[in-house]
Structure 1
Amino acid sequence: MPNQQKKVIFCMAGVLSFACALGVTAAIGTQQWLSGTILCKTGALLVNATEEELQKFIGKVQFGLFHGQWVRQCGLGSRPFRFSFFPDLLNIIPASIHISVLLFSAALAVFALVETGFFMFNAFGNPYEALHGPLGLYLWSFISCSCGCLVLILFSAEVKIHHLSEKITNYKEGGFMFQTHSEQFGKSFWIIFACTLVRLLNIFLIRLAGFQFPFSKSKDSETSGTIDLMY
């Protein structure tokens, strides 16, 4: 492939990586990771609420990685509450998983920036055959993709397996019991998902530029003691 086309492909991949870094950074600070509805089970059982009356006992919850809010509905009107994960809820939520989600989200943003630099260096600089060349592009794309996958898996496990919404809404609720009525992942979660797919796309863009996957190199290829410029 001509060098000019390689530069165009690497520039496009670099722009996508930079956009992902900005998107992930913005997603970390929002409350739009998950939204749902919460049923006041105690209140509904007390009045033996029917399907029509049940709406008076269904509140809403929305949260991100740092803070959130929920609206309590127990038949006597709505009462909004705001909460923060740090340090208020660390003793009731799976703290290790939640902190891991934060760390891998931050790592995803950092590695996306590193990946941007590598792509731009390969487009306009003189990359070397070592980690400055295609091997480095494959490496950072794979690391970024792995971080994105871990964020998605860990947050999904925290919400679905550990029932995060119920733990939040039942915090310091002595007389009432709340249970999840419905849940859906928010925009920030899907931003992470899209950025993870972009990491995979970048891997195929590298291959489109004419560079073989690292594991597909021929065993008979000779190794040299010196590092040569790629182009």
Structure 2
Amino acid sequence: MPAPQKKILFCLAGAFSFVCALGAAAAVGTQLWVRGSILCTTGALLVNASGPELEKFIGEIQYGLFHGQRVRQCGLGGRPFQFSFFPDLLKIIPASIHVSVILFCTVLIIFTLVGMGFFLYNAFGSPYETLHGPVGLYLWSFISCSCGCLIMILFSSEVKIHHLSEKIANFKEKTFTFKTHSERFADSFWIILACSLVHFLNALLIRLAGFEFPFSKPKDSGTATGAADLMY
């Protein structure tokens, strides 16, 4: 591929990486990772609520990696309540998984920026070492994509397997018991998925620029020719 087209592809990949870094940084700071509704089972059982009456006992919850908000509905109107994970909820949540999610988000942002720098370096500079050249670009893209996948896997397990929403809803509750009524991942979670897909796309752009994948085995015609020459 001609050099100008390679520069365009590398610049495009660098721009994608920069957008991903900004998106991931914005996603980490928001509380739009999970949205759902919580049912006050104690209040609903006391009045034997059903049908339209049950809506008076369904509140809302949304949270991110650091803070969130829930609206407590027990038949007497909504009561909003703000909460933060550090240090309030550390005793009731799987802290190791939650900290790992934050750690991998940080690694994702850092390596995305590193990848952006090396894409631009390959576009306008003269790379001379392995990690500065195409192999390095594959490496940064692979690490960033893997971090994004790990973030989604760990956070999904924290929410679904460890019932994070219910634990938050029942935090400091002594009279009423809450149960998750509905739950879905919100915008910030899908931003991380989009970042992972973009890093995979960057790897395809590197291949489109004419560079083989690191573990591919090109045909070594020189060895076969040399062996044939020794026979004569």
Structure 1: gaps (5+ residues): 223-231
Partners of 1:221 and 1:133 in 2: how far apart? 24
Deviations 1:28-51 (A, max 9, x none): 000101110000011001111011
SS at structure 1 position matched to 2:37: strand
Structure 1 segments, 4+ long, off by >3 Å, are: 219-222
Q: What is aligned with 1:95?
A: 95
1:95-126 alpha-carbon deviations (Å, 9 max, x no partner): 00000000001110100000000100000000
CA 1:152–1:221: 2 relative to 1, 3 Å: farther
Indicate the SS of the match to 1:91: coil
User: SS at the partner of 1:75?
Assistant: coil
Residue 34 of structure 2 corresponds to residue 3 of structure 1 = no
Q: Residue 199 of structure 2 aligns with which residue?
A: 199
Residues 6-26 of structure 1: per-residue CA shift (max 9 Å, x gap)? 000000000000010011001
Question: Over residues 145-194 of structure 1, what are the superposed CA-to-partner deviations in whole Å (9 max), with x where a residue is unaligned?
Answer: 00000000000000000000000010111111100000111111011010
Structure-2 residue corresponding to 1:154: 154
Partner Cα separation in structure 2 for residue 22 and residue 50 of structure 1 = 46
- Paired amino acid for 1:12: L
CA shift, 1:129, in A, is 4.8
Match of 2:105 in 1: 105
- Work out the number of aligned pairs and report it: 222
Q: Distance in 2 between matches of 1:176 and 1:135?
A: 57
Larger Rg: 2
- C-alpha deviations, 1:70-112, integer Å up to 9, x for none? 0000001111100000000000000000000000011101000
Letter in 2 for 1:64: G
Two-structure CA RMSD over aligned residues (Å): 1.1
Pair 1:120-2:120 in alignment: yes
The letter of the residue matching 1:203 is: A
TM-score by length of 2: 0.94
Aligned residue number for residue 176 of structure 1: 176
Q: Secondary structure at the match of 1:89?
A: coil
Aligned to 2:137: 137
Secondary structure, counterpart of 1:146 in structure 2 = helix
SS in structure 2 of the partner of residue 128 of structure 1: coil
Take 1:50 and 1:180, find their aligned partners in 2: how far apart are those partners? 16
- Secondary structure, aligned partner of 1:196: helix
CA–CA distance in structure 2, aligned partners of residues 129 and 80 of structure 1: 56
Shift of 1:219: 7.1
Give the TM-score normalised by the residue count of structure 1.
0.94
Where 1:86 maps in the other structure, the secondary structure is coil
Q: CA deviation at 1:221?
A: 8.3
Q: In structure 1, how many angstroms separate the alpha carbons of the residues matched to 2:215 and 2:89? A: 45
Which runs of no fewer than 5 residues in structure 2 stay unpaired?
A: 223-232
CA distance in 2, matches of 1:5, 1:129: 22
Check if 1:54 corresponds to 2:54.
yes
In terms of mean alpha carbon deviation, does 191-200 or 129-138 score higher? 129-138
Quote the offset at 1:217 in angstroms: 2.9
Whole-angstrom CA distance in 1 between matches of 2:216 and 2:5: 23
Q: Give distance in 2, aligned partners of 1:91 and 1:45.
A: 29
2:82 partner SS: strand
Aligned-pair identity in percent equals 72
Report the 3-state secondary structure (helix = DSSP H, G, I; strand = E; otherwise coil) of the residue aligned with 2:86: helix
